[in-house]
Structure 1
Amino acid sequence: MPFYKVWYKDQEEPLEFSTAGRYSEEQIVEHLFAHERIAAAAPGSTLKERIAGSGLAPVRYTEDESEISTIA
């Protein structure tokens, strides 16, 4: 079970969650949007556009203590 930590809006404390399988960056963003109760973006928009439009940038995450990856 992968364990994720997701930092967004320059918050000090990350959103933490586990999943049954590995998540793609898109699934991580969808989980973040659900947590923040943000409606799904219009089809065809990129992850960076969705994140910027929602005011959640920057979004960074780790998977199982890996190095921090940045989505936007």
Structure 2
Amino acid sequence: MTPDDLGRRATLRLRLPDGRFRDIVGVLEWWRDGMIGVRRRDGELAEVAAADVVAGRLVPQHPPKRRGSGGR
């Protein structure tokens, strides 16, 4: 991913200070001064340091609808 991907939906894997990992999924809103702004589905803006991102990929704009177990 690059700043050219702004406006696209992505998942970012971050390394936390304690060595664990955390994933963030949302729309890339901005990328500047070593920081990335990601708008989550609930509307919250997550700001992450690009240096903490260990992996990332673009994902479909709208996740596929889950099929119910209604047996229809």
TM category (shorter chain) comes to 0.3 to 0.5
Q: Which one scores higher on RCO, CA 8 angstroms, separation ≥ 6? A: 1
Bigger radius of gyration, 1 or 2?
2
Greater share of strand: 2
Structure 1 length normalisation: TM-score?
Answer: 0.36
Structure 2 length normalisation: TM-score?
Answer: 0.36
